[in-house]
Chains A and B, each alone.
Chain A
């Protein structure tokens, strides 16, 4: 039984990686005022790019992740161009890009791989046991015997927090997301900051997408993202656009998801469809609970035009 529990948590932690990364992507761009809604599509495009690059490079995971990051960064840049330079509604642009990204993901796969009977496989991420720490009972296998991407996600979360809340750059960066008019009148470059936020957010979202084939399947399927892009939005709201709570929220959502899968394996007397709904039900419950209290960055998703009227 203890094995089963340890196992559950170990899997939950590994499953949390795309949530943590996606949540940080949302947080970074959101703190500069850009609301990413294209995740569901962009994660898929990046998953496709990562898979293909890894496959074509003969199994080089690093090259694969870089390709996924580049794909995400590209979408971040396009998002920035339409919302910052052309001042189009962020939700409209985001949804359009989502659809486009899904198309690109499937298109790339069909160009490079085509229709095959047995889908090609790439190597998946292996656990890395951290010396000493991984020997701690319970905690060791759960937290310190994970693949490198988990450590990367945790370190990134801490770095994002330190940047946003412990540096002058971060203060300026956040002011753009709170109130671009104030930031502008103090000589802070609003457009540049928001582009940086959008592109950085896109890159991290791309890495989150790249993790999916590298951990879950070893191959590309069109349903690889499976709602994670939306859950990432929910958990960022839950974490109040603050990197540390967002990371913890990601772990919680991952646990809910894995619980659903375990329930099926253990043949719990509950319909499997219901078990698979668990993460979404948790999402909903948490949203209802926290939504009223959530403090969004005040300038979130509001485009800024210097000469337009005061608002």
Chain B
């Protein structure tokens, strides 16, 4: 049976004010194939898919479904044509349970403890290895589990066309592998899949065809079989810059001379999770100045609580957290930031950004009291603008102006704001939680280089990440968290992906024979 073209988009144009987000794009989706949609942050990937899903109305162009022109004006229309989409930012009602979220908008009926539906969801979950607690409230779930709810939600609708907008960006490598396996299986069952990602490895492993967008235009179209990894990296970098740090492999062993003064010292710190059991248990850690300590672990093993306890967003239940000898546990977040601690939080839309404020305001947020941005009474808008402009240029944030609202930015560009904020000044200490999530290759590289620069400037850096490649590329030491406990610490020079992977699954590091 020849593969059937399910969707054809022709000449799609979309304008937001002065920004031409899509410039007459052609795009097709074939049954049984995985179509990777690539491009740097702000290239228009999400916008193109939102047009197909009926969330955005295109200014020009046509959409054909199975050869017939169709007007898709609302997501309802799209769903009727069995097009389903997993959005870049979670689209979940946080006060509802997972199951309630999955049920939303499907079917009618009086009782919503729909037994049949529940069995169906459970069987899909089993088939694709996407286990979630169906009766937990979504806001209590870790990010990875929320992502699985999102995917179950669309699969429960029996889609024919499945759009996945960076579905792996908040998953651990293991979780991502499970999802990639599921996608392969779905494609084998005849679905047409659109897969948006910034990760080369994922494209190589599951995509059949590739479309690269750049500035709202199609910059390239190729078959995976005819392109090598190197060519792909070049395409995704947009032909700019040096080969990325990530591709350079793990950090070499340090010389002992590189060891600085202790910066952050945690002594038997426990942090509650708000659900009775503690999320972080009796953790001892020390990060020196001039050092990047990587924290590896599957998400939901206490990383978020750890970071929030250091930043005093959450109170440590017991233990002591000292920065340069000063106890942090009794301070508030503002005081911690004013001590020169930078913070890149995990949940950026929720915690990190004020969508209705301007980009400039968002970039200097938390530092607005520093003398460089305000005198005694008023904000210095000019200095703020200048600093923001620097951030925008450094990180290649796609925007018309620093006075635009932060909420209009593309997913990756939102991340960049937070990062620009943290790197605005040389920090004394930096807590970075999944700082490269959702960033394109060039921006990821810039972030990693900035981390290294902060470290070389004397900062201690705590890099919490689920991306082992990234951790190994820049960390001087990697500590592995499992169920809130430290499974062990590995030194640069002796990184072994499998050893770390085993520790992430709960195996304690063997004491070295000495």
In the complex, chain B residues whose CB is within 8 Å of the CB of A166? 110-112
State the Cβ distance, B245 to closest chain A Cβ, in Å: 30
> A45-53, A176-184, A277-285: which one contacts chain B?
A176-184
Q: Is B305 an interface residue (CB 8 A)?
A: no
Contact B85 A309 (CB under 8 A): no
Q: Is B355 an interface residue (CB 8 A)?
A: yes
A183 to B105 CA separation, bound complex (whole angstroms) = 7
Q: Is A3 an interface residue (CB 8 A)?
A: no
Q: Is B344 an interface residue (CB 8 A)?
A: no
> B86-94, B168-176, B206-214, B424-432: which one contacts chain A?
B86-94
Q: Is A60 an interface residue (CB 8 A)?
A: no
In the complex, chain A residues whose CB is within 8 Å of the CB of B408? 309
Q: Is A167 an interface residue (CB 8 A)?
A: yes
Q: Which residue of B is nearest A165, CB measured?
A: B112
- Contact of A182 with B109 at beta-carbon distance under 8 Å, contacts A307-B57, A309-B355, A310-B349 already known: no
Q: Which residue of A is nearest B108, CB measured?
A: A168
Contact B93 A187 (CB under 8 A): no
State the Cβ distance, A290 to closest chain B Cβ, in Å: 17
Contact A185 B85 (CB under 8 A): yes
Q: Is A188 an interface residue (CB 8 A)?
A: yes
- Contact of A186 with B75 at beta-carbon distance under 8 Å, contacts A175-B93, A309-B355 already known: yes
Q: Is B405 an interface residue (CB 8 A)?
A: yes
Contact A307 B74 (CB under 8 A): no
Q: Is A306 an interface residue (CB 8 A)?
A: yes
Contact B104 A306 (CB under 8 A): no
Q: Is B318 an interface residue (CB 8 A)?
A: no
In the complex, chain A residues whose CB is within 8 Å of the CB of B55? 184-185, 306-307
Q: Number of B interface residues at 8 Å Cβ cutoff, please give it.
A: 40
- Contact of A186 with B104 at beta-carbon distance under 8 Å, contacts A181-B91, A309-B407 already known: yes
A167 to B100 CA separation, bound complex (whole angstroms) = 11
State the Cβ distance, A266 to closest chain B Cβ, in Å: 46
- Contact of A172 with B105 at beta-carbon distance under 8 Å, contacts A167-B112, A309-B405, A309-B408 already known: yes
- Contact of A298 with B104 at beta-carbon distance under 8 Å, contacts A167-B110, A184-B75 already known: no
In the complex, chain A residues whose CB is within 8 Å of the CB of B153? 186
State the Cβ distance, A301 to closest chain B Cβ, in Å: 15
In the complex, chain B residues whose CB is within 8 Å of the CB of A306? 55-56
Partner among A179, A295, A307, A311 whose Cβ is within 8 Å of the Cβ of B355: A311
Contact B355 A167 (CB under 8 A): no
Contact A168 B109 (CB under 8 A): yes
In the complex, chain A residues whose CB is within 8 Å of the CB of B101? 182
A208 to B149 CA separation, bound complex (whole angstroms) = 42
List CB contacts (< 8 Å) of A163-205 with chain B.
Answer: 166-172, 174-175, 178-179, 181-189
Contact A168 B112 (CB under 8 A): yes
Partner among B57, B75, B93 whose Cβ is within 8 Å of the Cβ of A179: B93
State the Cβ distance, A32 to closest chain B Cβ, in Å: 13
Contact B355 A187 (CB under 8 A): no
State the Cβ distance, A146 to closest chain B Cβ, in Å: 29
Q: Is B76 an interface residue (CB 8 A)?
A: yes
Contact A182 B91 (CB under 8 A): yes
A174 to B100 CA separation, bound complex (whole angstroms) = 11
Contact B112 A187 (CB under 8 A): no
In the complex, chain B residues whose CB is within 8 Å of the CB of A175? 93, 96, 104-105
Contact A185 B87 (CB under 8 A): yes
User: A291-309 CB contact bits vs B (8 Å, 1 = yes)?
Assistant: 0000101100000001111
In the complex, chain B residues whose CB is within 8 Å of the CB of A171? 96, 100, 103-104, 112
State the Cβ distance, A115 to closest chain B Cβ, in Å: 52
- Contact of A298 with B95 at beta-carbon distance under 8 Å, contacts A171-B112, A185-B75, A185-B85 already known: yes
Q: Which residue of A is nearest B79, CB measured?
A: A187
Q: Is B372 an interface residue (CB 8 A)?
A: no
A298 to B95 CA separation, bound complex (whole angstroms) = 8
Q: Is B107 an interface residue (CB 8 A)?
A: yes
- Contact of A183 with B355 at beta-carbon distance under 8 Å, contacts A295-B95, A309-B408 already known: no
Q: Which residue of A is nearest B80, CB measured?
A: A187
State the Cβ distance, A84 to closest chain B Cβ, in Å: 15
Contact B104 A188 (CB under 8 A): yes
Q: Which residue of B is nearest A171, CB measured?
A: B112
Q: Is B356 an interface residue (CB 8 A)?
A: yes
Q: Which residue of A is nearest B88, CB measured?
A: A310
State the Cβ distance, B92 to closest chain A Cβ, in Å: 6
Contact A311 B356 (CB under 8 A): yes
State the Cβ distance, A139 to closest chain B Cβ, in Å: 31
A311 to B353 CA separation, bound complex (whole angstroms) = 9
Contact B104 A172 (CB under 8 A): yes
State the Cβ distance, B470 to closest chain A Cβ, in Å: 26
Q: Which residue of A is nearest B78, CB measured?
A: A187
Q: Which residue of A is nearest B103, CB measured?
A: A171
User: B49-78 CB contact bits vs A (8 Å, 1 = yes)?
Assistant: 000010111000000000000000011101
A295 to B92 CA separation, bound complex (whole angstroms) = 17
Partner among A168, A174, A183 whose Cβ is within 8 Å of the Cβ of B110: A168
In the complex, chain B residues whose CB is within 8 Å of the CB of A172? 104-105
User: A224-241 CB contact bits vs B (8 Å, 1 = yes)?
Assistant: 000000000000000000
Contact B76 A178 (CB under 8 A): no
State the Cβ distance, A217 to closest chain B Cβ, in Å: 41
Contact A187 B103 (CB under 8 A): no
Q: Is B114 an interface residue (CB 8 A)?
A: yes
A186 to B408 CA separation, bound complex (whole angstroms) = 22
In the complex, chain B residues whose CB is within 8 Å of the CB of A179? 91-94
State the Cβ distance, B488 to closest chain A Cβ, in Å: 40
The 8 closest A-B pairs by CB, nearest first: A309-B407, A186-B105, A187-B76, A309-B408, A187-B79, A178-B93, A182-B91, A168-B112
Q: Which B residues fall within an 8 A CB radius of A?
A: 53, 55-57, 74-76, 78-80, 85, 87, 89, 91-96, 100-101, 103-112, 114, 153, 349, 355-356, 405, 407-409
30 contacts between A and B (CB under 8 A): A167-B109, A167-B111, A168-B103, A168-B111, A169-B108, A171-B96, A171-B104, A172-B104, A175-B105, A178-B94, A179-B91, A179-B92, A183-B93, A185-B55, A185-B75, A185-B85, A186-B75, A186-B105, A187-B75, A187-B79, A187-B80, A297-B95, A298-B94, A307-B55, A307-B57, A308-B407, A310-B89, A310-B407, A311-B355, A311-B407
Q: Which A residues fall within an 8 A CB radius of B?
A: 166-172, 174-175, 178-179, 181-189, 295, 297-298, 306-311
